[in-house]
Amino acid sequence: MLSLPSEVTIKEVGPRDGLQNEPAEILTEDKIAWIDLLSEAGYSYLEFSSFVHPKWIPQLKDAKEVAQRIKRNKDVTYAALVPNMKGLEAALATDVDEVSIFMSASDAHNRKNINKSIEETYPVLEEVVREAKSAGKSVRGYVSTVFGCPYEGDVPIQQVIDVSKRLLDMGIDELSLGDTIGVANPKQVWETLGRLEAELSFQHLAMHFHNTRGMALANILASLQRGITTFDASLGGLGGCPYAKGASGNVATDDLVHMLHQMGISTGIDEKKLEQAGTFIQEKLDKPLPSHHMQLTRNERR
């Protein structure tokens, strides 16, 4: 039997993971208009920005203004990425619904990304989780480089288990496992999830695939068969891969929603509104978005 769930939650990360990998600068008012379009498309979750120092990610320097000016849809959880206490304080000041913390399963990537070893990262995140929880916010924890590292290559599953366990012990509400450089294959996904489920106990587990090698939808199919029902995605396949210039970014929300709906799996997302939101941001970026759906949309308009 091809065992599949009847319902899936898609967490839109385009405004954060997508835009942070786009060289183009998008006007704050355009971002806000875009997030407002997304808010009406049927998502239950939007990661709208990141409270990191603008030196690191200038594309998201307007996180505060975006947070304050978007129209909050009560059916949507609005989340923002925070790297440390300073980021958390800025995020809390804007009354986000949820904060996301992040670290890597490989030490080399963690050092390049956060400028700390894995061991040095734990106390920083522990404080962030504690303070976020005491402010009444839920917390999502990202683990990067779960299926491979641009610097170390293969990442032993035990490291993924260790980092995941530490984050779960901090009290995070959801863990999101990231294939940061898009190297995972369906067999590896199947086996990794088997190991993790055997050794850890999850409240909520999400998968975060990049489509660098075109395997993202196949990896999602393997995850669905393992019972995973939450996936991160970026509309239109917005964003790229910082480790392979010009390569595909996150799995495209529109292509994922299409596949799920075709298989009779509901997402709550309106494909027509999704397309309108995709066309909007494509025009603002002034470049063709890489998803298959956006390709087809452009061709129909020729």
**Which residues contact its own copies (rule: CB under 8 A)?**
2, 4, 183, 185-188, 190, 211-215, 217-218, 220-222, 225, 244-248, 252, 255, 258-259, 262-264, 291-293, 295-296, 298-300, 302
CB of 49 to its own copies, least distance (A): 27
Q: Which is nearer to its own copies, 171 or 186 (CB)?
A: 186
Q: Which is nearer to its own copies, 2 or 201 (CB)?
A: 2
Q: What is the 3-state secondary structure (H, E, C) of 184-226?
A: CCHHHHHHHHHHHHHHCCCCCEEEEEECCCCCHHHHHHHHHHC
CB of 210 to its own copies, least distance (A): 11
Q: Which is nearer to its own copies, 200 or 247 (CB)?
A: 247
Catalytic residue among 241, 260, 277, 285: 241
CB of 290 to its own copies, least distance (A): 9
CB of 73 to its own copies, least distance (A): 28
Is 241 an annotated catalytic residue? yes
Q: Which is nearer to its own copies, 135 or 259 (CB)?
A: 259
Pairwise CA distance, residues 36 & 33, whole Å: 5
Q: Which is nearer to its own copies, 49 or 219 (CB)?
A: 219
CB of 6 to its own copies, least distance (A): 12
Pairwise CA distance, residues 204 & 265, whole Å: 19
Pairwise CA distance, residues 254 & 233, whole Å: 9
Q: Which residues are catalytic?
A: 241
